[in-house]
Structure 1
């Protein structure tokens, strides 16, 4: 989150914009999980609608971006669902969109808004030039969260947020408020905004509409090495699917879910990730070598590479950081 704030502040000082939305994403599903935003002029009640339309809009969707894309180019304004149904009414003229993606996954995306003028070719080139270093910084910031949880730290139970089909909050379990306050810290004296839950629920709508096939799931670091998994699903069966309420659950990530993000955050290779999975199951070098159809010497080489990438020096420390306990 600190990396996102720093990047947006530097961009505002360098090139200027009127509003922005910067989301960290689950590297595997590309679903937003830790958003920060400054959207002056857009009323807070419109936030669920904005997020829903963002996920349903195929134009300049972060999951398909190869480079910086502008809303003002190539007839995108007329083709953009989110602009036609919402943003044009608030005077938005251009949006520069960029995704922060590397071979390990998608680590975030950024939308910069302008109300009075378009982004220039020079500004677009500048944004394109910073994409790679920002991506690396975001991935490394996620890697830094994999620390051993304090001894005796409480294990959270699952909490639930109930949303309407258009993402209005209908109800929540008592503990939900505390989680949301940490995920997206509210302004003093204001209730937390369930933006993380909106994103997961909006991905469910995108899957149902055939816009994107990634599951409506996102893993996010909360604090002190604790990772949470958010999931969205329809409930009930009395109404047609599109009219059913949406339940968003928030619970501690399982060891398997946590390990998958750990592997991506430290940019482990496919074989290194496979080796780590065998170590988690308790395999020794001889057993792992047989399972991977390699020599024990090769296993040790892979293990040394993993130690170097994760700044660990033993299997015990490695597994403790990866699993959080």
Structure 2
């Protein structure tokens, strides 16, 4: 099993340098892991490392029906092996049977979601590489199959960094589909707390269709990034959310630009359930700066300076704002230029405002 795991690890390290799309990478992950570990069904999700919100997923037959309920348990309920905890753990792979000491019924997720759909044990892996979570992988076994073994858990843990790295790199590859018309303009979607679509403007409908096409899901299925920001908004019920702090995720679209998706929980002014508002709009430079900083390995100080430069501030203004000398600002700018490959502020700013053509990624 160790030799097979090493083969898979090497394969995905090589695939990371190809033009494999994110969706095809997720499918390949499921197919290759199945050769290592038997399971009945699986789900592979890419996430934004900054927000831990889904940017797209591939689910196999039998999983899609319970996927909405799994979101509810992940964001709104406490249960064993939450991905948020796995991503921070020393060991990022865990079986439900191990966490419950073989008593799966102790898990509300098992009782209310897995068991009714005919599944038994569940193996979860937070795909972490270099301290950053790039995605989630969930393997499901049927009632008839045995629990996941310790050996299988160890084998999966050997390949998760390579899977994470490949998933991250392929997330940056955007397929050029020339016959696909890109939506334009901001859109607004209104949903119930049960995530039922209540109303939408034309732009929101276009964005929904584009996301469904990108994820290769049907018109009746809510795209995972939309579901994720909505669940995060619902989880903040009763908490004070300041303007600009709404759950937000940036998704790479088919033309190389990024779409920003935000969700807000609306307060009911009359009797009835509260609603959720989802806003779609082209990602702003402020949304993209963290992405750019990670891509090029910018330090925290370099990222602060980049933010000031993009805002149009002069060297002197940046120095005053950050309480450093103008010479230090210039030194940091030189480092930024060296890392990004640009030679002037104008080129750098244009790169941010162009929202990063996929061909420009390092």
TM-score tier by shorter-chain length is: 0.7 to 0.9
Q: Which residue of 2 aligns with 1:129?
A: 158
TM-score scaled to structure 2, two decimals? 0.73
Hey, what does 1:69 align to over in structure 2?
94
Partner of 1:15: 37
Q: Deviations along 1:70-89, whole A, 9 cap, x unmatched?
A: 11113173443322211111
Following superposition, the deviation at residue 273 of structure 1 comes to 0.8
Which one of 201, 218, 226 corresponds to residue 173 of structure 1?
A: 201
Residue in 2 aligned with 1:317? 347
**1:159 aligned residue:** 187
Scaled by the length of structure 1, what TM-score is found? 0.81
Residue 170 of structure 1 deviates from its aligned partner by 2.8
CA distance in structure 1 between the partners assigned to 2:138 and 2:287 by the alignment: 28
Q: 3-state DSSP class of the match of 2:260?
A: strand
Unaligned runs of 5+ in 1: 146-152
- C-alpha change, 1:311 and 1:135, in structure 2 (3 Å) is farther
Aligned to 2:17: none
Alignment of 1:19-98 (within 5 A): 19-38=41-60, 40-42=61-63, 44=65, 46-58=66-78, 59-65=80-86, 66=89, 67-75=92-100, 77-98=104-125
The Cα offsets for residues 200-248 of structure 1, whole Å up to 9 and x where unpaired, read as: 21222223388xxx953222112222211222223332247xx312222
Runs of at least 5 residues in structure 2 that lack an aligned partner in the other structure:
1-21, 175-180, 240-244, 356-362
Q: Distance between the aligned counterparts of 1:128 and 1:299, measured in 2?
A: 42
Number of residues of Structure 1 aligned to a counterpart in Structure 2: 311
In the alignment, what sits opposite 2:261? 230
- Which residue does 2:6 correspond to in 1? none
Shift of 1:256: 0.9
One of 200, 223, 227 as aligned partner of 1:198: 227
Q: Contact conserved, 2:246 with 2:264, CA < 8 A, in 1?
A: no
Rate the CA distance shift 1:143–1:299 in 2: closer, same or farther, 3 A.
Answer: farther
In structure 2, what is the Cα distance between the partners aligned to 1:259 and 1:92? 42
Say which of 285, 299, 304 aligns to 1:274: 304
Higher mean alpha-carbon deviation, 16-25 vs 99-108, is at 99-108
CA RMSD in angstroms comes to 3.2
- Equivalent residue number for residue 148 of structure 1: none
SS of structure 2 residue aligned to 1:223: coil
Misfit runs of 4+, over 6 Å: 186-189
Q: Whole-Å Cα distance in 2 between the matches of residues 307 and 71 of structure 1?
A: 48
Change (3 A) 1:322 1:140: farther
State the Cα deviation string for residues 7-56 of structure 1 (Å, max 9, x = none).
23322233232222222222222121312211x23564x44333223322
- Greater relative contact order structure (CA < 8 Å, 6+ sep): 1
SS at match of 1:233: strand
2:250 matches 1:219: yes
